[in-house]
Structure 1
Amino acid sequence: MKETVATIPLMDAFLAKDECPFCFLEREAERHAISFIMGSAYMEDDIRMQTDKIGFCRHHYKMIYDYGNRLGSALILDTHLKKINQELKEQIESFKPGKKPSIFGHRRTDGEQETAKGALPTWIDEKTTSCYVCDHFQSNYQRYLDTFFDMYKKNPEFKKIFENSKGFCLPHLGDLVKRAPNKLNEKQQQEFYPVLFQLMQTNMQRLQEEVSWFVDKNDYRNKDAHWGTSRDSIQRAMQKLAGGYPADPIFKQDS
């Protein structure tokens, strides 16, 4: 299979023997995006236009703060706040409270329903859920999902690596299950799903046993017993259940 910009990172993610290769890719992508935006890109007009419009989610604001470039953060926030404040002013000026329901059960018209919902709550939802870094990964993530299935079908080496992997976190498992019907024919699905589900059950059971041994190891009767692979089982179990890396150190700007 011909290598592309997606095949090499995907293969590297699986070879990393992580609890979830897509979490591995997500972490790499978001760190690259933070380094890019907080390096010198925030001084470029086209990038600032995007960050002014889109902003960042709570998680990535925290990463930007922790990264350590205070001046860069202030410059991004300065122009973003100017845009937000102008839009907020316009939203407030056009805001109309919804009508109170009639005590006689009069049903609102479509126009009344729209006024009750209002443009302001919709605008707030958009501004608090959009994120430059999340969008950066999502655009690549969809390509990684498609590449995964292409490599599964065409690359025997990759297929073997997948079958011997540790599976995926539950959120990324869900994405694979939903994407498979669009990428695999019926016969391929009949082969793929049993392998995927067995892989997940085996590795979820493995983590349960590792966490159980972590608990038992803290019993004084087991103080001299070997930890095995359980010492870091807490953070790996959290990753498996929800994705991400709860034990990661803060990602900082190189000093």
Structure 2
Amino acid sequence: MKEKLYTIPLNDAMNADDECPFCYIERNVEQDILDYVLGSCASYMESDTRDATDKAGFCRMHYKKMYDYGNTLGNGWILKTHYKKLIAEMKEQFSHFTPGKTSLMDRLKGKPSEENPVSAWIGEKEKSCYICDYFKKEYARYLDTFFYLYKNDGAFREKLEKSKGFCLHHFRDVLNGADAKLSDSEKKDFFPLVFRLMEENMERVSADVDWLIEKFDYRNKDADWKTSKDAVQRGMQKLKGGYPADPPYKMNK
């Protein structure tokens, strides 16, 4: 099948021989978003981008990555207007707040009262992140493309068959996607394939971790490391996704 613009990232991810192609894509997309939000294009100075970041905010993980990225002025501008919007909303919440009433019987029973509305507002803010939300939209398209290629591109299926499978985090999404996007006959081939891949590659990573531990035995100090030197970071990735050993992604100044 002739490669198209929207299939290139999936093929690149499969060619990378990574523990999980979707971890590879997630890292690339996240770095692209950081470049867009804080990079030299200075999108943080554009009103439509700032309106979106003011509204969504960022999660704790991405605030840390934004800080590590290194654009102090850009982060400052993003925080400046986000704070103003957040404080205005907070004052509005406070102005309409009345403490909830809990009956004596409920207190004696230890029955919780309804959630404090200000607490609920904070909870909604905690769920919102501009980068996470942006990635979710991109990720959904990549999952669609994955199944499109699986169904229509023999070369891609061959790459999948020879791959290292997925991390457990993204494997769940792949399974749910298969249920939604594959026909019954396609599922009969797909599920045994990915189950085999996951079993073989979880065993492979587990064996690497086992040998890494054995290498710390003085009797094995001269033995070959085999493929176990990076077993810890790959083992963590296989379970939860991501790249634990990656250095912070920095602004290209």
When the two structures are superposed, what TM-score results if normalisation uses the length of structure 1?
0.93
Equivalent positions of 1:80-159 (< 5 A) are 80-103=82-105, 116-159=114-157
Give, in angstroms, the shift of residue 131 of structure 1.
0.8
Find the aligned partners of 2:124 and 2:4 in 1 and give their Cα distance: 34
Equivalent positions of 1:7-46 (< 5 A) are 7-39=7-39, 40-46=42-48
Find the aligned partners of 1:137 and 1:70 in 2 and give their Cα distance: 23
Q: Conserved in 2, the CA contact under 8 Å of 1:99 and 1:116?
A: no
SS at match of 1:117: coil
Find the aligned partners of 2:203 and 2:100 in 1 and give their Cα distance: 52
Find the aligned partners of 2:99 and 2:4 in 1 and give their Cα distance: 53
Give, in angstroms, the shift of residue 98 of structure 1.
2.1
Counterpart AA for 1:194: P
Find the aligned partners of 1:93 and 1:174 in 2 and give their Cα distance: 43
Is residue 197 of structure 1 aligned with residue 195 of structure 2? yes
Counterpart AA for 1:231: K
Alpha carbons of structure 1 residues 30 and 105: separation in structure 2 relative to 1, 3 Å: closer
Counterpart AA for 1:183: K
Alpha carbons of structure 1 residues 226 and 143: separation in structure 2 relative to 1, 3 Å: same
Equivalent positions of 1:221-236 (< 5 A) are 221-236=219-234
2:245 pairs, out of 244, 247, 250, with 247
For the aligned residue pairs, the C-alpha RMSD in angstroms reads: 1.8
1:77 pairs, out of 76, 79, 82, with 79
Find the aligned partners of 1:104 and 1:230 in 2 and give their Cα distance: 57
Give, in angstroms, the shift of residue 116 of structure 1.
2.4
Q: Could you say which residue in structure 2 is the equivalent of 1:168?
A: 166
Counterpart AA for 1:85: I
Cα deviation 1:216-253 (Å, max 9, x = unaligned): 00100000001011000100010010011110011111
Task: Please list every run of 5 or more consecutive structure 2 residues that lacks an aligned counterpart in the other structure.
Answer: none
When the two structures are superposed, what TM-score results if normalisation uses the length of structure 2?
0.94
Give, in angstroms, the shift of residue 154 of structure 1.
0.5
SS at match of 2:236: helix
Find the aligned partners of 1:122 and 1:140 in 2 and give their Cα distance: 28
Give, in angstroms, the shift of residue 104 of structure 1.
7.5
Q: Conserved in 2, the CA contact under 8 Å of 1:96 and 1:118?
A: no
Give, in angstroms, the shift of residue 3 of structure 1.
4.3
SS at match of 1:35: helix
Alpha carbons of structure 1 residues 3 and 120: separation in structure 2 relative to 1, 3 Å: farther
Is residue 49 of structure 1 aligned with residue 25 of structure 2? no
Counterpart AA for 1:56: F
Give, in angstroms, the shift of residue 58 of structure 1.
0.7
Q: Conserved in 2, the CA contact under 8 Å of 1:42 and 1:76?
A: yes
Q: Could you say which residue in structure 2 is the equivalent of 1:109?
A: none
SS at match of 2:252: coil
Counterpart AA for 2:8: I
Task: Please list every run of 5 or more consecutive structure 1 residues that lacks an aligned counterpart in the other structure.
Answer: 107-112
* Identical pairs, percent: 50
Cα deviation 1:65-91 (Å, max 9, x = unaligned): 011110111111000000000001111
Find the aligned partners of 2:243 and 2:11 in 1 and give their Cα distance: 20
Q: Could you say which residue in structure 2 is the equivalent of 1:110?
A: none
Give, in angstroms, the shift of residue 97 of structure 1.
2.1
Find the aligned partners of 2:79 and 2:55 in 1 and give their Cα distance: 11
SS at match of 1:221: helix
Give, in angstroms, the shift of residue 95 of structure 1.
1.7
Is residue 67 of structure 1 aligned with residue 65 of structure 2? no
